[in-house]
Amino acid sequence: MTLWLSQREFSKRAFKLSQTRRHLEHHPGTNPPSFTAVVEEVTEEGGVILSESWCYPRGGGQPGDTGIFMIDGKSIAFGEVTAAQSILHPLLGSGLANGDEVTCVIDRDRRDSLAKMHSAAHIVSAVANERWGAITVGNQLNTESSRMDLKFEDRELFDKDQLTEDANYWVHEDVGINVHQWGRDQIMTDDRVRNKRFVERIIDRVGGDDPQLRMVEVEGIDLCPCAGTHLPSTGPIGGIVVDKVQNKGKGTFRVNFSLID
Ligand SMILES: [Zn+2]
């Protein structure tokens, strides 16, 4: 089971953000193209709000994009993108003003690493649910290693080497990763969607006549609502190593994993 947004976070991000999260239109979420936009506002804190942005804003355990703005032959870096009311690009230099037209160049290597890690996280979460009924209650992804908090029905049964083996089965199968826009009927009648009560609450919050969710499918193993960035298939993950397990109490283990090429 992989639910990347807690209900609170989903509510905060999906329903209060005034700007369109255009990165959602891209799948695969690797190799993001540069784009041109107009600076609408430079906030007092130095955050740039663009007329539109394809940057991934931090959320769901996945760090936001970083990159540079190009304007008049010079470049100005921006730090990790976040989303509050708008998508914010924290400026790491000076020289931008309202009305400027900039080319926004997302750090592709970083995005690609995070898309790879995020895709691996779907697998880790799903196989832990398949084998031990574990529920993912938190996760933090990074380019080098990531961690996932798994709450078990019976934690004593957990075996990290088995988790590594199960996860790598799906990597080696190189199954497709697909993104769907599905309405309520299709989601609620698909047996692969687990924790339907939770998903239905999300659908209710989207509201409207025909609410649609972005459903991410890792063929054969996972199907859940997700706003992250993903590979086109699991093969390019390379390999997954579960390298450390920490006790987080209340039936929960913090599982750390990294990737091998
Ligand atoms: Zn995802």
CATH number at residue 79: 2.40.30.130
Whether residues 116 and 90 share a domain: the answer is: no
**76 in the same domain as 21:** yes
Same domain (yes/no): 78, 23: yes
Q: Based on the domain organization, do 175 and 244 belong to the same domain?
A: yes
Distance CA 49, CA 53 (A): 9
Give yes or no: residues 128 and 249 share one domain: yes
Distance 226 CA to ligand 1 centre (A): 5
Distance CA 100, CA 34 (A): 16
Range of the domain at 182: 112-260
Report if residue 246 sits inside a domain.
yes
Is residue 222 within 8 A of residue 118, CB to CB? The reply is no
Per-residue model confidence as pLDDT tens for the chain (261 residues): 344 444 445 544 554 677 888 999 999 999 999 999 999 999 998 899 999 999 999 998 999 999 999 999 999 999 999 998 899 999 999 989 999 999 999 999 999 999 999 999 999 999 999 999 999 999 999 999 999 999 998 999 999 999 999 999 999 999 999 999 999 999 999 999 988 888 898 888 888 888 999 999 999 999 999 999 999 999 999 999 999 999 999 899 999 999 998
Same domain, 94 and 141: no
Q: Give the model's pLDDT for residue 207.
A: 85
Cα(45) to centroid of ligand 1, in Å? 30
Spatial CA neighbour of 149 closest among 226, 248, 257: 248
pTM of the shown model = 0.93
2 in a structural domain: no
The Cα–Cα gap between 245 and 176 comes to: 29
199 and 164 inside one domain: yes
Residues 63 and 120 in one domain: no
- Report the separation in Å between the CA atom of 230 and the middle of ligand 1, taken as the mean of its atom positions: 6
Q: What is the DSSP-derived secondary structure letter of residue 195?
A: -
State the total domains in the chain.
2
Distance from the CA of 42 to the center of ligand 1, in angstroms? 31
Complete DSSP assignment for 211-231: -EEEEEEETTTEEEE--S---
CA 117 to chain centre: 9
Among 106, 122, 142, identify where a domain stops: 106
**Residue 37 contacts by C-beta under 8 Å, 6 or more apart in sequence?**
50, 51, 52, 53, 101, 102, 104
CA 1 – ligand 1 centroid, Å: 11
Pair of tokens at residue 73: 């032959």
Last residue of a domain, one of 106, 139, 172: 106
Enclosing H/E stretch for 83: strand 82-83
CA of 74 to the centre of ligand 1 (A): 35
Ligand 1 centroid to residue 217 C-alpha, Å: 9
Element holding 243 (H helix, E strand): strand 239-249
Distance 119 CA to ligand 1 centre (A): 6
Give the end of a domain, one of 81, 106, 131.
106
Tokens of 94: 């000076």
User: How many whole angstroms from 101 Cα to the centroid of ligand 1?
Assistant: 32
Span from the CA of 43 to the centroid of ligand 1 (angstroms): 30
Sequence-separated contacts (24+) of 164-168 with Cβ below 8 Å? 164/240, 164/241, 164/242, 166/127, 166/130, 166/131, 167/120, 167/123, 167/124, 167/127, 167/240, 167/242, 167/257, 168/239, 168/240
Q: Are strands 82-83 and 35-42 parallel, antiparallel or unpaired?
A: unpaired
Q: Do 127 and 208 belong to one domain?
A: yes
Locus of tokens 């009648």? 189
Is the domain of 59 the same as that of 123? no
Tell me, in angstroms, the distance from the centre of ligand 1 to residue 86's CA: 22
Give the CATH number of the domain where residue 122 resides: 3.30.980.10
User: What's the token pair of residue 89?
Assistant: 């690009």
150 and 99 in a common domain: no
Task: Supply 49's token pair.
Answer: 């709000």
8 A C-beta contact, residue 228 and residue 10: no
